[in-house]
Chain A
């Protein structure tokens, strides 16, 4: 395996991790806001307080890892993506800040504020929407080079493209679906029947729209970026496996059994789809300007990053295990037997 493939695989893994745990976080915030508006607030507030508060900073670090890592392994992306991503990236950052400040200001102090919870919920949809535009941009067709050779983002093309809007819709639907499946399991662990039923209902509602929008994107790519579409078709079996895992997840949720298995199947579903998409995108980071070969850093830097990465994991995996043991898989904590 060449160093650039190793590098992009590691980064893709971080992004995948962020997509999963970030989605849980974002979706939970939205469901919380939604239930406050519809008057069911107590069902979800406690779960959010218990599960999300200790881990949100960890979630955030996955995102930081991804963008620090990509600058390290592929410094040229800092130039291209940095230049064109100023506006969507800044909007994403401001939304992330609002979200982080909710944790800082609301959950560490006693009483909650409705408007704030609403904003917090809304950012749960807007952050994936703004960040996912980078996926649309990476498909090419929205960036041109000006006289000085600097990349410029064509906002009109981006905002009028059905592809970019489908990707935005997919990101939102995926957030709601992933979050609902996970929280169904978590609520079930806490023994909260009302919350379990509510989250199960949401999971089932968002299951079908997820597959439809995902399929729609592949269809739109056939016009927008035919060469990528062809490569996707070469990996049809990976998407097939993903589809089967999706069907099994929905079936388990429908039958109200093995919610824990359902979560693992869901992770598998996204893992296959995410890597199939990533592999078919190879070798381009930004169609057709930047590939992982041209944008790769020097050998010395790449090797030292890989070494640090391995050492870092040796430190982090036991620590993460401790977090999971204390907060996620600790029956007594999950059932709220400790006071904060």
Chain B
């Protein structure tokens, strides 16, 4: 079959599930903020366009959340099915945020259900708006708690291992592990950033396709402006993440940078390729930048990969994941900055078709960057599932048939993915904005 080794098979199935789930999870965390902002502006400015914007976004959001519930349930149970040894150990120390995540999601699901099914029940729009607050908080808290679990896998703390047994467990200390602040803020902020560019690219697409409706211009301006704010925040947090890695997971940073020899004044290596002697060719070398990223000091010493045992270093492919993630992030920051200045200064070209096509690309690119980021985080932790304590080989299931499950879940994800696109298209095609606005005002 595809995989003889249950460890590789388990890794591949987890990769597949997470790669798919994270798309929906990001929308689930990010988009409520935008629904909330649009709804709020609509109430404040008494502008029907923004109210309808909130309503249309929430309609699409509902579909993606439903699929996200499904894929989230799958990954939740798959953790135990594929990594039983890991969950047995980790359950003793990090089950608390997992449990909290369930509550947070429960909270979100309840109020989303109410919000979606009560559009016509409140005479006062502000009451209906209030229902969104728990949705957005619940979504944000879900991301917060589940990312804590992931950060624990990168920097396990709050316990001691004595003869293979976990003792002196302190679940709170485990939650507030060193990786937690940068990881959690990075995930939450990029979820908002990704959602912003997703919604911006939809609006831009409509404008490119010939719609002249001011509704889309309002949506585009709003989302690009918020996208710019979160892009800047992401860049700042990214810098802190570099410092965290240099301190606590230097092997991950070194692998991502192809930084082999420990040295001061280290350059940031972008792209390129490696020959068999681990020489880097055709790379872009930005002098001193790695030292600045790692220690805020251009001459500071950065630990190289050669300091580590070869069997405890991650695959070097993570270098490309890192570079692509950063490149896209910078592109999106610059794009939204130019757009924002351009609108303020009445530059014509930001309204040109070419520029709008660039914005159309921003949504898919943002999702790609997020996938690269997760692959960097997960592959970059190899061979560990719990850094320094348990490897993936020790953690994986001993059960047969994981390869069969790969095929079954693969088919399922294809069906769910295609289904999402088809259904979303159908919802909005059958009910264009012009039809929805008819009777409320004239465009």
Contact = CB atoms under 8 A, between A and B. Distances in A.
A76 interface: yes
Contact of B80 (A81, A100, A105, A297): A81
A100 B69 contact: yes
Interface in B261-276: none
A239 B114 CA distance: 38
A60 interface: yes
A101 B73 contact: no
Contacts of A96: 70, 73
Interface stretch (A223-231, A260-268, A272-280, A300-308): A300-308
Nearest to A53: B117
A90 B103 contact: no
Contacts of A148: 398
A82 B416 contact: no
A301 B81 contact: no
Nearest to A90: B405
A94 B13 CA distance: 14
B92 interface: yes
Given A75-B89, A301-B169, A60 B69 contact: yes
Interface in A149-163: 150, 152-153
Could you say which interface size class chain A belongs to? 35 or more
Contact of A101 (B100, B103, B415): B415
A78 B105 contact: no
A242 to B, nearest CB: 29
Contacts of B84: 78-80, 82-83
Given A86-B397, A96-B73, A301 B88 contact: no
B99 A61 contact: no
Contact of A323 (B59, B65, B113, B412): B113
B248 interface: no
Contacts of A58: 106, 109-110, 113
A251 interface: no
Given A75-B92, A83-B397, A301-B93, A57 B69 contact: yes
B92 A338 contact: no
B67 A101 contact: yes
B171 A304 contact: yes
Contacts of A304: 96, 171-172
Interface string B396-418: 01110110010011001001100
Given A75-B88, A78-B88, A326-B114, A97 B70 contact: yes
B170 interface: yes
Contacts of A98: 412
Interface string A305-339: 10011001001100110110011000000000011
Given A83-B397, A104-B67, A322-B114, A71 B426 contact: no
B186 to A, nearest CB: 24
Interface string B76-104: 11101111110111111101101111110
Given A90-B81, A93-B77, A319-B110, A82 B397 contact: yes
Contacts, number: 219
Contact of B170 (A80, A87, A300): A300
B21 to A, nearest CB: 11
Interface in B41-73: 59, 62-63, 65-67, 69-73
B66 A298 contact: no
A298 B169 contact: yes
Contacts of A61: 102, 105-106, 109
Contact of A340 (B67, B100, B117): B117
A297 B102 contact: no
Contact of B66 (A57, A78, A81): A57
Contacts of B85: 79
B99 to A, nearest CB: 5
A69 B77 CA distance: 12
B427 interface: yes
Contacts of B420: 104-105
Nearest to B89: A75
A109 B99 contact: no
B430 interface: yes
B110 A320 contact: yes
Q: Specify which of B107, B171, B401 lies most central, judged by the most chain A CB atoms within 10 Å of its CB.
A: B171
Interface in B153-195: 166-167, 169-172
Nearest to A107: B66
17 contacts: A57-B69, A65-B106, A68-B95, A71-B95, A79-B87, A86-B82, A86-B399, A86-B405, A93-B77, A104-B66, A298-B92, A315-B103, A315-B107, A322-B110, A323-B114, A340-B117, A340-B119
Interface of A: 53-55, 57-58, 60-61, 63-65, 67-69, 71-73, 75-76, 78-87, 89-91, 93-94, 96-98, 100-101, 103-105, 108-110, 146, 148, 150, 152-153, 297-298, 300-301, 304-305, 308-309, 312, 315-316, 319-320, 322-323, 326-327, 338-340
Interface of B: 59, 62-63, 65-67, 69-74, 76-78, 80-85, 87-93, 95-96, 98-103, 105-107, 109-114, 116-121, 134, 166-167, 169-172, 397-399, 401-402, 405, 408-409, 412, 415-416, 419-420, 422-423, 426-427, 430
Given A97-B73, A105-B422, 15 more contacts: A54-B114, A57-B66, A57-B69, A72-B96, A75-B95, A84-B399, A85-B81, A86-B81, A94-B409, A97-B70, A97-B71, A104-B423, A301-B93, A301-B96, A309-B99
What 6 A-B pairs come out closest when comparing CB atoms? A75-B91, A104-B66, A72-B95, A82-B84, A78-B87, A82-B80
